[in-house]
């Protein structure tokens, strides 16, 4: 925000709190190494501020700040986070303030209460005492050479209850020398027009930059943040893929393209926009969560089309059913394979592998007939396009098996051991060389997956980066009881890509094996193609 104040960086600054506010989300637990990797990714994308933790709250954050002192960042400034001083001590005597200074970041965020209810009932302080806490803390940090961002906690709830007091809090921070004030919709309960009107009031009253910090409890954090920008806010705080306390924070992977592509307000360097999707997926991978497939811009389904009319329209003019070109944000268009897709969608998939195949050619007809036959058997390719790509390759003669199965044996134990309830023994052949491997796992499929990849890694070491991320089983003809056919969907990832394969059989192990083999072969084929294209 200091850059905006001098006019050096037109647009809106992005303040990412994935490593602080995001770390407070249920199910999220970053290691120090995780935080460093995410910070580097955000910096590479061009994010200007990265809020990394509260050094006064836990040893992990202190360790992170110690390790990042040698980190060379291109764009971002690291931010330490903490609260105003205690009500019964001066800022210069407060241990948490001392911890903030000890980590030596250029920027410090201080949050302070702006809702009179919180001041009297939670802090148990007087309204005047809270104002002094804000002033003393900001002024002391400024005297120590810090850029200070004041997070006006519960500002919008406070403004509803007592607008004069809420405004006195942000004015007190400005009077103390704060470089900017962030208006926080801490409970996430405000509506867009409320945010717009009250942000406008603050922007008119203060002589320093104003930021917005929204939570998503009403599902409107992105909309609220955009309305704040419309009202004059020059910085947006959020987490990169939206996770955070309760329902999460403003999703920056949606805010950035919304402002930059739709409103022509620069947030990150334009050349970095195509890296938006890979950054979102990388952060999800490090955080060990699934990125929402239907997330705007960066989700796997953001540019997926299933209906025949939609597919036909996009094929003729992409703008007919897409609001931007997917490659603008580093995503890709997908035509989902199903009974409603139409020949055009299938042809597009075929032409990615063999551009010369035409709509009315024998090859296209044969593939469509094969698709229908497999769907009749119970295969479903809408959620398993990787398997469908392998079907196309086999039909076109562009497939060569990368290994041969000799046999496998799976043994389950009863009563089962929680650590390893099954074991698998497998023998494969690659280029005439045999490999026999055994592995234990949590269930027969896990044991088989481990044994297969363990054997193949001897020949294909790149498989060490691959892991199974999801496993689903569906019984298709329940009237057949234990003889029913099952469909197994396996989702796999390697840190850069995610793909899904499918297998069908009346034997759940056999169905799993089909999907496992397709998953590994798809990974190896894509790696070979990537290496080949790198030489072109």
DSSP, residue by residue, 123-144 = S---HHHHHHHHHHHHHHHHHT
**Binning pLDDT at 50, 70 and 90, where does residue 115 land?**
very high
Mean pLDDT value of segment 333-360: 72
Rounded CA-CA distance 173/134 in Å is 6
**Confidence (pLDDT) at 6:** 33
**What DSSP line would sit under 479-529, residue for residue?**
GGGGG--EEEEEEEE-SS-EEEEEEEESSHHHHHHHHHHHHHHHHHHHHHH
Quick check: helix, strand or coil at residue 235? strand
Q: Is residue 344 within 8 Å of 314, Cβ to Cβ?
A: no
**Confidence (pLDDT) at 536:** 46
Residue ranges per domain, the chain? Answer: 11-287, 304-395, 404-535
CATH architecture of 404-535: 2-Layer Sandwich (3.30)
pLDDT digits (tens, 9 = 90+) for 304-320: 887 667 767 887 888 88
- pLDDT higher at 251 or 352: 251
pLDDT digits (tens, 9 = 90+) for 358-378: 877 888 888 888 887 887 788
Q: Which of 457, 456, 438 is nearest to 448 (CA)?
A: 438
**Confidence (pLDDT) at 333:** 87
Mean pLDDT value of segment 163-178: 98
Rounded CA-CA distance 21/248 in Å is 9
CA distances from 54 to 165, 308, 404 (A): 27, 52, 54
Q: Is residue 483 within 8 Å of 477, Cβ to Cβ?
A: no
Quick check: helix, strand or coil at residue 283? helix
| Bond preceding residue 189 cis, omega within 30 of 0 | no
To the nearest whole number, what is the mean pLDDT of the chain? 90
Question: Scanning the structure block, which residue is given the tokens 């809106």?
Answer: 12
* pLDDT of 204 strictly over 50: yes
* pLDDT of 464 strictly over 60: yes
> 239: number of CA atoms within 13 Å, CB side?
24
Mean pLDDT value of segment 90-116: 96
* pLDDT of 110 strictly over 70: yes
Whole-number CA gyration radius for the chain: 28
**Confidence (pLDDT) at 57:** 80
337-368 exposure pattern, b = at least 16 Cβ within 10 A, e = fewer: bbeebbbebbbbbbeeebeebeeeeebbeebe
**Confidence (pLDDT) at 2:** 41
Mean pLDDT value of segment 279-296: 90
- pLDDT higher at 173 or 389: 173
Mean pLDDT value of segment 520-531: 89
Tell how far CA 248 is from the center of its chain: 12
* pLDDT of 26 strictly over 70: yes
**Confidence (pLDDT) at 340:** 46
Tell how far CA 106 is from the center of its chain: 27
38-42, 375-379, 399-403, 506-510: the lowest-pLDDT one: 375-379
**Binning pLDDT at 50, 70 and 90, where does residue 480 land?**
low
**Confidence (pLDDT) at 419:** 64
Q: Is residue 524 within 8 Å of 460, Cβ to Cβ?
A: yes
Q: Is residue 441 within 8 Å of 423, Cβ to Cβ?
A: yes
**Binning pLDDT at 50, 70 and 90, where does residue 417 land?**
low
* pLDDT of 5 strictly over 80: no
* pLDDT of 154 strictly over 60: yes
* pLDDT of 342 strictly over 70: no
Order of strands across the sheet with 433-441? Answer: 404-412, 422-430, 433-441
CA distances from 237 to 245, 267, 336, 390 (A): 14, 12, 35, 43
The percentage of residues in the chain with a pLDDT greater than 90, rounded to a whole number, is 65
Order of strands across the sheet with 486-493? Answer: 467-475, 486-493, 498-505
- pLDDT higher at 15 or 63: 15
- pLDDT higher at 309 or 164: 164
* pLDDT of 124 strictly over 70: yes
Mean pLDDT value of segment 510-524: 94
**Confidence (pLDDT) at 478:** 53
**Confidence (pLDDT) at 477:** 66
145-149, 189-193, 368-372, 439-443: the lowest-pLDDT one: 368-372
Which is the CATH superfamily of the domain at 11-287?
Answer: Aldolase class I (3.20.20.70)
Q: Which helix (H) or strand (E) holds 430?
A: strand 422-430
DSSP at 261: I
């Amino acid at each position: 925000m200091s850059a905006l104040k001098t006019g050096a960086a037109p647009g809106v600054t992005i303040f990412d709190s994935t490593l602080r506010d995001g770390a407070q989300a249920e199910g999220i637990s970053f290691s120090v190494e995780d935080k460093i990797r995410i910070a580097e990714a955000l910096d590479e994308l061009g994010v200007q501020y990265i809020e990394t933790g509260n050094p006064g709250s836990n040893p992990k954050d202190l360790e992170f700040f110690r390790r990042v002192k040698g980190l060379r960042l291109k764009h971002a400034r690291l931010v330490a986070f903490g609260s105003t001083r205690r009500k019964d001590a001066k800022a210069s005597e407060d241990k948490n303030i001392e911890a903030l200074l000890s980590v030596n970041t250029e920027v410090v965020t201080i949050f302070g209460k702006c809702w009179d209810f919180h001041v009297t009932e939670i802090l148990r302080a007087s309204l005047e005492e809270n104002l002094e806490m804000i002033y003393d803390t900001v002024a002391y940090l400024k005297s120590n050479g810090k850029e200070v961002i004041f997070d006006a906690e519960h500002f919008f709830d406070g403004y509803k209850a007592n607008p004069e007091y809420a405004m006195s809090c942000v004015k007190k921070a400005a009077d103390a020398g704060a470089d900017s004030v962030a208006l926080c919709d801490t409970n996430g309960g405000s509506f867009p027009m409320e945010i717009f009107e009250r942000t406008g009031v603050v922007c008119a009253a203060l002589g320093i930059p104003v930021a917005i910090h929204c939570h998503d409890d009403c599902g409107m954090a992105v909309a609220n943040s955009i309305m704040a920008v419309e009202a004059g806010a020059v910085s947006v705080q959020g987490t990169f893929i939206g996770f955070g306390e309760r329902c999460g924070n403003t999703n920056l992977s949606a805010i950035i393209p919304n402002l930059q592509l739709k409103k022509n307000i620069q947030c990150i360097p334009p050349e970095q926009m195509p890296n938006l999707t890979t950054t979102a997926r990388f952060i999800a991978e490090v955080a060990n969560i699934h990125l929402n497939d239907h997330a705007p811009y960066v989700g796997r389904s953001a540019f997926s089309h299933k209906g025949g009319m939609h597919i036909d329209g996009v094929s003729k003019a992409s703008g007919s059913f897409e609001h931007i070109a997917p490659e603008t944000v580093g995503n890709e268009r997908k035509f989902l394979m199903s009974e409603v897709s139409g020949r055009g969608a299938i042809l597009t998939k075929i032409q990615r592998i063999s551009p010369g195949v035409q709509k009315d050619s024998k090859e296209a007809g044969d593939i469509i007939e094969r698709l229908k036959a497999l769907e009749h058997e119970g295969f479903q390719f809408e959620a398993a396009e990787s398997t469908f790509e392998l079907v196309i390759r086999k039909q076109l003669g562009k497939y060569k098996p990368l290994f041969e199965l000799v046999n496998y044996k799976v043994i389950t134990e009863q009563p089962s051991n929680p650590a390893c309830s099954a074991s698998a023994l497998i023998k494969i052949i690659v280029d005439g060389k045999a490999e026999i491997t055994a592995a234990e796992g949590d269930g027969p499929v896990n044991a088989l997956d481990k044994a297969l990849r363990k054997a193949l890694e001897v020949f294909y070491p790149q498989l060490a980066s691959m892991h199974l991320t999801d496993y689903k089983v569906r019984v298709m003809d329940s009237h057949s009881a234990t003889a029913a056919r099952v469909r197994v969907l396996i989702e796999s990832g390697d840190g850069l890509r995610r793909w899904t394969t499918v297998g069908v059989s009346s034997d759940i192990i056999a169905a799993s094996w089909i999907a496992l083999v397709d998953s590994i072969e798809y990974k190896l084929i894509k790696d070979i193609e990537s290496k080949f294209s790198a030489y072109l």
